[in-house]
């Protein structure tokens, strides 16, 4: 139902600067920064947070104070910049899967040009498909689809126009995170992963491992997602690392674990030392039993749980999917028929011809480009058609769902899994089986993931524009520009982070950092696992099915199975600090409730705690990217090594004392976040 009485902040008849060179350039800069930060965060934690609000906050401060931007220019800045975050999430969740296909069948496609091409195509597809949907979903259902992030972002822009000062807290969080990251990753005053693991010979609890990557970005993410989701995430980690791994460690001999690692490619053979868990063929033992069991068995159980959790999430939204698709088709027909008369500035979209010709152009590009997988033009043409068909459907679904529950809860994993499995079944139907077709199936799944992620972000941006009185056509152009520019840097960031540093090599990482404990890339690994399982039949289904029924059990208990499954798949060192951030948010909320302080969701988004946490996420992730890039060059890596005083501190305090010191710094950051949130 449309809200006919709605009046935008900037009336339709007002002429104001909007799509200007400075707004596009500033948006591209923010898109590059937050896109790179999202790549880092998604590879490490398998999670992302919305970039629209922090970009809007920063745009208000920098734009108005230094560049004299209008509210509509600030809206273009955040619209252009947020495209980078959405596309980065889609890229990182899927394209690393190329590294894990059968016998390295897809590793050749994990190159910069292919990543860049797929990122641009997926990003453009997500924006293209949203053009005909804007009027039906954003305008006609303004009163029923809140688009929470988009509404909050519009509130930031309007409040900033009225003189609100939000950026100080976010910038302080950025500075705090940068300082903390320098102490941790450059000077190594703060331990990166304090932990404790029981010995394998422990009679009661062998190889139980509790650890935490005590970084600012994880604490910030935890605060933003809150105690409920953070608790469910860490519960999955507790099951894996403090229940399943000690149980399997007490039951399985080392040779059996090593044989399983050889089978799935994490160990060359039983005579070669190293691999995951640091196998010693002379003594038939592992240096790290917990890691060996995690890679041999628990990751496959976690993969099955994530797949089932994604499907369950998707099944729960089927009524919404059906009604959305029917309603959107009718709205597109009516809007195509009603094109007469003068169109107000705030209702001017790009033409439907752009959508049709753009979709056709994308199919042609996917058919003729040599860097995309496919043995013939016919095979590539089928891939292109499947991308457009699945894209039109799931972009519609994605936009409607984020309108109801927000981008953070968008079941993109379920949509991607459904797309990949549907594509594999189509391939089997036409007789395409085996490892040669695995990269082609992954391309379809990755395109839909990127398109659906970008469509969700685009919807929030268009909602912000509708509220403030932007010109939709200008926003749509800005989104295309942001998608292309951000993709250039996203691909570079992915490739840089995939290069093992000297420290990683010393810890057994060889060719690719992605897929290791440093950058687990859980969603990409999962997609590759399913791809192989359907087309090649090499999957250990007994472990996957354990994960499937684990997810079903958790869902039947009334707990979100997907969040729990992601926690079970990731290392506990990732989910534990996120939970701590969520616990701090829980204490803050409890104190507010006790003091009878009531805030709306929009006010909560703009609260000091959320803004400081956003700064921690952005600052920590960006610092991590910069340091990882510097460590990739020999000259700068040598300079960074000279600044490392961690070994001296560890010698003076001992390992336990060094860990306690790091934990103290992390506790101080948590206290400061709590203190800021309570102001």
CA separation for the pair 136, 142 (Å, rounded): 9
Is 164's pLDDT higher than 60? no
Question: Between the CA of residue 93 and those of 66, 85, 402, what are the distances in Å?
Answer: 36, 12, 18
Closest C-alpha among 84, 154, 93, 165 to residue 126: 84
Reply yes or no on whether the pLDDT at 639 is more than 80.
yes
How far is 51 from 617, CA to CA, in rounded Å?
Answer: 10
How much is the pLDDT for 622?
A: 77
Residue 46: predicted pLDDT: 66
Q: What is the pLDDT of residues 26-35, one digit of tens each?
A: 999 988 888 8
The pLDDT value given to residue 635: 77
Q: Is the pLDDT of residue 329 over 90?
A: no
Instruction: Domain ranges for the chain, please list them.
Output: 175-284+572-678
Tokens of residue 171, six digits: 């910038």
Between these two residues, 395 and 441, which has the higher pLDDT value? 441
Residue 340 predicted with pLDDT over 60: no
Name the more confident of 232 and 162.
Answer: 232
pLDDT band at 327 (very low <50, low <70, confident <90, very high): low
Q: Is the pLDDT of residue 284 over 90?
A: yes
> Does pLDDT of 497 surpass 80?
yes
For residue 576, which of 289, 233, 243 has the smallest C-alpha distance? 233
As beta bridge partners, residue 279 has 274, 286
pLDDT of residue 2: 45
| Whether pLDDT at 669 is above 80 | yes
C-alpha distances out from residue 353 to 31, 112, 129, 132, Å: 28, 31, 12, 10
Per-residue pLDDT reduced to its tens digit, 598-614: 776 656 666 788 888 87
Q: What are the helix (H) ranges across 46-131? A: 52-62, 71-94, 112-130
Q: Which of 37-51, 73-87, 463-477, 646-660 has the lowest mean pLDDT?
A: 37-51
Select the more confidently predicted residue: 305 or 286.
286
Q: What is the structure's pLDDT at 577?
A: 93
- Joined together, the tokens standing for residue 490 give 């996203």
- Angstrom distance (rounded) from CA 493 to CA 502: 18
Which of 161-175, 236-250, 351-365 has the largest mean confidence? 236-250
Global pTM value: 0.76
Query: What pLDDT was estimated at residue 56?
Result: 76
CA separation for the pair 524, 482 (Å, rounded): 24
């Amino acid at each position: 139902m449309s809200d006919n009485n709605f009046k935008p902040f900037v009336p339709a008849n007002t002429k104001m600067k909007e799509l200007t060179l400075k707004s596009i350039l500033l948006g591209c800069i923010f898109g590059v920064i937050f896109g790179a930060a999202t790549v880092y965060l998604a590879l490490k934690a398998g999670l992302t947070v919305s970039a629209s609000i922090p970009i809007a906050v920063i745009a208000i401060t920098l734009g108005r104070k230094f560049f004299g931007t209008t509210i509509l220019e600030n809206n273009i800045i955040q619209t252009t910049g947020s495209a980078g975050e959405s596309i980065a999430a889609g890229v990182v969740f899927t394209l690393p899967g190329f590294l894990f296909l059968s016998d390295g069948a897809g590793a050749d496609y994990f190159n910069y040009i292919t990543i860049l091409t797929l990122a641009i195509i997926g990003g453009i597809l997500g924006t293209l498909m949203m053009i005909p949907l804007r009027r039906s979903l954003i305008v006609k259902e303004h009163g029923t689809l809140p688009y929470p992030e988009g509404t909050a972002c519009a509130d930031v822009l309007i409040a900033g126009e009225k003189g609100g000062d939000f950026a100080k807290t976010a910038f302080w969080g950025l500075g705090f995170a940068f300082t903390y990251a320098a102490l941790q990753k450059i000077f190594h005053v703060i331990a990166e992963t304090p932990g404790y693991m029981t010995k394998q010979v422990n009679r009661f609890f062998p190889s139980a491992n509790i650890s935490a990557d005590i970084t600012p970005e994880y604490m910030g993410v935890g605060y933003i997602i809150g105690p409920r989701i953070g608790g469910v995430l860490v519960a999955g980690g507790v099951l894996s690392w403090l229940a399943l791994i000690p149980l399997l460690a007490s039951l399985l001999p080392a040779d059996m674990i090593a044989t399983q690692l050889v089978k799935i490619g994490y160990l060359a053979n039983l005579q070669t030392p190293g691999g995951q868990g640091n196998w010693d063929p002379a003594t038939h033992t592992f240096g790290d039993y917990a890691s060996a069991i995690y890679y041999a068995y628990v990751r496959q159980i976690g993969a099955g749980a994530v797949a089932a959790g994604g499907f369950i999430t998707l099944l729960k939204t089927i009524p919404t999917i059906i009604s959305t698709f029917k309603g959107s088709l009718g709205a597109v027909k009516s809007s195509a028929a009603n094109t007469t008369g003068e169109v107000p500035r705030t209702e001017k979209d790009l033409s439907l011809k752009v959508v049709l010709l753009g979709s056709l152009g994308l199919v042609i590009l996917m058919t003729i480009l040599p860097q995309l997988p496919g043995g013939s033009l016919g095979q590539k043409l089928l891939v292109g058609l499947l991308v457009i068909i699945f894209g039109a459907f799931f972009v519609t679904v994605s936009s409607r769902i984020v309108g109801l529950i927000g981008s953070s809860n968008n079941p993109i994993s379920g949509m991607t899994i459904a797309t990949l499995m549907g594509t594999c079944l189509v391939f089997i139907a036409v007789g395409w089986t085996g490892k040669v077709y695995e990269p082609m199936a992954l391309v379809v799944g990755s395109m839909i993931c990127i398109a659906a992620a970008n469509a969700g972000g685009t919807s929030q941006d268009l909602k912000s524009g509708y509220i403030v009185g932007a010109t939709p056509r200008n926003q749509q152009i800005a989104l295309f520009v942001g998608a292309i520019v951000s993709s250039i840097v996203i691909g570079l960031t992915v490739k840089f982070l995939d290069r093992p540093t000297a420290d990683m090599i010393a810890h057994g990482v060889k060719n690719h950092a992605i897929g290791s404990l440093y950058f687990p890339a859980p969603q990409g690994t999962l997609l590759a696992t399913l791809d192989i399982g359907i087309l090649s039949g090499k999957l250990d289904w007994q472990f996957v099915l354990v994960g499937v029924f684990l997810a079903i059990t958790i869902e039947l208990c009334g707990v979100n199975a997907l969040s729990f499954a992601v926690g079970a798949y990731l290392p506990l060192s990732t989910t534990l600090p996120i939970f701590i951030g969520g616990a701090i948010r829980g204490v803050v909320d409890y104190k507010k409730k006790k003091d009878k302080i009531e805030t709306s969701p929009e006010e909560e988004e703009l609260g000091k705690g959320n803004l400081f946490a956003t700064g921690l996420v952005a600052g920590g992730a960006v610092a991590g990217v910069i340091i990882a890039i510097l460590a990739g060059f020999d000259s700068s890596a040598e300079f960074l090594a000279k600044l490392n005083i961690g070994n001296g501190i560890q010698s003076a305090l001992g390992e336990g004392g060094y860990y306690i010191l790091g934990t103290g710094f992390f506790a101080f950051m948590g206290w400061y976040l709590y203190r800021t949130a309570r102001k």
